[in-house]
Amino acid sequence: MTAGSRIRQLDASTVSRIAAGEVVERPASVVKELAENAIDAGATAIDIRITSRLGQITGITITDDGCGMNHDDARMAFTRHATSKIRDLPDLFSCTTLGFRGEALASIAAVSRVTIVTREKGGETVSGTLIVNEGGRMVEDRETGCPDGTSVSVEKIFFNTPARRKFQRSLPAEIALISGIVERLVLTHPGIAFRLTHNGREKIAVPGSGGLMDAIIHLFGLEIAGQLLHVDTGTPGAGIRGAISVPDLSRKNPYQMYLSVNSRPVFSRNLLAAIRKAYGTLLPQDRYPVVFLDLAIPVTEVDINVHPTKREVRFGSEEQILATVTDQLRAVLESHRLIPEKDASRAAGHREPSDGSVPLRYISSGPVPDGVKEPLLRERITTERQLRLTETGPATSGEGKIPDLEIIGQFGALYLICRTPDDDLLLIDQHAAHERILYDQIGKWPSFQDYAQELIEPVILTLSPREAEMLIPAIPTLEEEGFVIEPFGIHTWAVRTVPVALGRQIDPETVREVIAELIAPGFPKGVDPAEQFRRIFACRGALKAGTQMSPDQCEQLILQLRRTKNPFTCPHGRPTMVFFPKKKLDELFGRT
């Protein structure tokens, strides 16, 4: 080892105590490891080039302008457990680099052909080094002219592990995964310029000139950035920095909750829950905010050595840190006065204006409206349109299953209170009921396409690179189902038609959500896509909870429900109505 070498092999006892294991199970993990190395090398610009042929990734090249390596280090870098980042176990507790196991390059080289071209910044020699390692064997080692920094190229990925190659996901899925990894690195290192290309096409390009907000705008667009609250708070034990969404911007799943600890992207269920908790009832129970947060925790309090992929971390005083996160974020939300004041508007005698999309939370906590009230004009029109969509259903075997009903009132802008001819009480959930109606109707349509309608104005979606990667392969299927979606600009897509079931003046957020649901990998298994479409449309197109309905609209809804084949449950199997025989009420009041 020459005087200038930095990389050393960890001793056996240290090796035995770090959570080791396979880190390169797929091409995306190669990208992650190499990009992390570039960050650790102090790069200010990182260029990631992916090439593919016939649906397989054929090459990954990552070039950085970091510290580079001298000849000896470059050779050493391929040795297992050789690292420049820690010397021994105690170092691990002050480690601020992303890597520390000295395993990645060795593992990658073991299953592919790796070429490193590198030159040490301020190094003693003029020329740089080129080393090729294939399947763990050094096959080339020579001087070369090259700029400062490092370029690592990986080819023949998994050439000697056919099983792993076979189990690769589809190319679009892999590219989506890679985009997701790069997105996370961009968000945790907004000062670094990143570029990701696939077969020369640019997927991500951020100049790395600004702060987090700049990175967010580049990746997700102004639309989202405009709905974020700046966060810079916390305690000495847990600094919290980044941005969180106002409650109006939320998602059905937590995949846009970007979390990091000391700039290391992490996954922590508990942390997700603590953040979600800060929103409390500002969000409906099944919604998640969009957040980009980094926790600054004293390195001595964080255990990064939990899992080989380093995504999981443990905190020393976890409970306290989680409580801090919840409290501080709640304070941020409160200071922006997003928590509605205690029913001031209702006390003054008027209702929250509603276009049917106002979440239940704003309405349900107030005094019970008695009887059926006249809705606002705008709300009335929306409801009318939704009901018209389903009004032409011919009578089916369901007719006669529901008795004649007299509507007493609407409760909580959600439940219809009805009296049966036998003087029993029946409650109907308007959303579940309309969902059932819509679902039955959609089932009768030959295909959605026949019912696609052009939007009055196309809805423009801004998608993150990862979302876009998931969208592209789904476009033909979506088109069959009535969505015509076209590229519109950088990161943006224009939705020109939607299935009739979604209505004509749909808001972008809804279109976005429907598409997100359709392309999400989490589709229930065994449900065929057409069926899945039906369920989603039924749910989306149906009258919302929180919609004030006029008496004749209530009548209409019940009329339509009566015509369905199975009026008693919604497509998810939840009841559309609950029956209280008068006898049961009498019993409850001890009148028997």
The item of ligand ADP, Mg ion, none sharing an interface with residue 410, based on CB under 5 to 8 Å by kind, is none
Question: 46 vs 177, which CB is nearer to ligand ADP?
Answer: 46
C-alpha span between 403 and 424 (Å, rounded):
11
Question: 99 vs 541, which CB is nearer to Mg ion?
Answer: 99
The single-letter code of the amino acid at 352 is E
Shortest reach from residue 571's CB to ligand ADP, in Å: 50
> What's the CA angle centered on 336, arms 332 and 341, to 5 degrees?
115
Contact set for Mg ion, span 17-76 (CB under 5 A): 37
Do residues 498 and 449 lie in contact, with contact meaning Cβ atoms separated by under 8 Å? no
C-alpha span between 151 and 255 (Å, rounded):
31
Contact window for Mg ion (CB under 5 A) among 91-99, 135-143, 205-213, 411-419: 91-99
The item of ligand ADP, Mg ion, none sharing an interface with residue 85, based on CB under 5 to 8 Å by kind, is ligand ADP
- As a whole number of Å, the end-to-end CA separation of the chain is 95
86 near Mg ion (CB under 5 A): no
Rule CB under 6 A: which residues touch ligand ADP?
A: 6-7, 33, 37-38, 40-41, 64, 66-69, 77, 83-85, 99-106, 150
The single-letter code of the amino acid at 521 is P
Contact window for Mg ion (CB under 5 A) among 18-26, 49-57, 64-72, 92-100: 92-100
Shortest reach from residue 324's CB to ligand ADP, in Å: 31
Shortest reach from residue 457's CB to ligand ADP, in Å: 48
Shortest reach from residue 78's CB to ligand ADP, in Å: 8
Shortest reach from residue 64's CB to ligand ADP, in Å: 5
Question: 308 vs 567, which CB is nearer to ligand ADP?
Answer: 308
C-alpha span between 168 and 27 (Å, rounded):
8
Do residues 8 and 83 lie in contact, with contact meaning Cβ atoms separated by under 8 Å? yes
Contact set for Mg ion, span 96-115 (CB under 5 A): 99, 104
**Which CA distances in Å does 420 have to 411, 413, 568, 579?**
17, 21, 15, 10
The item of Mg ion, ligand ADP, none sharing an interface with residue 102, based on CB under 5 to 8 Å by kind, is ligand ADP
**Which CA distances in Å does 376 have to 133, 281, 350, 351, 381?**
71, 25, 10, 9, 9
Contact set for Mg ion, span 328-367 (CB under 5 A): none
Find how far residue 446's CA is from the centre of its chain. Answer: 33
The item of Mg ion, ligand ADP, none sharing an interface with residue 469, based on CB under 5 to 8 Å by kind, is none
Do residues 52 and 171 lie in contact, with contact meaning Cβ atoms separated by under 8 Å? yes
Shortest reach from residue 36's CB to Mg ion, in Å: 5
Provide the mask over 486-525, with x wherever binding to Mg ion is found by CB under 5 A and - wherever it is not.
----------------------------------------
Estimate the share of the chain in helix, then strand, then coil, as percent rounded to the nearest 5: 35, 25, 40
Question: 194 vs 288, which CB is nearer to ligand ADP?
Answer: 194
The item of Mg ion, ligand ADP, none sharing an interface with residue 38, based on CB under 5 to 8 Å by kind, is ligand ADP
Shortest reach from residue 104's CB to Mg ion, in Å: 4
Handedness of CA 169, 172, 178, 179 (dihedral sign): negative
CA-closest candidate to residue 301, choices 319, 313, 316, 312: 316
The item of ligand ADP, Mg ion, none sharing an interface with residue 502, based on CB under 5 to 8 Å by kind, is none
Question: 106 vs 130, which CB is nearer to Mg ion?
Answer: 106
The item of ligand ADP, Mg ion, none sharing an interface with residue 83, based on CB under 5 to 8 Å by kind, is ligand ADP
CA-closest candidate to residue 292, choices 195, 224, 209: 224
Shortest reach from residue 60's CB to ligand ADP, in Å: 13
The single-letter code of the amino acid at 13 is S
Shortest reach from residue 209's CB to ligand ADP, in Å: 22
Question: 13 vs 592, which CB is nearer to ligand ADP?
Answer: 13
What is the DSSP secondary-structure string of 516-557? HHHH-TTPPTT--HHHHHHHHHHHHHSPPTT----HHHHHHH
Binding footprint of Mg ion on the chain (CB under 5 A): 37, 99, 104
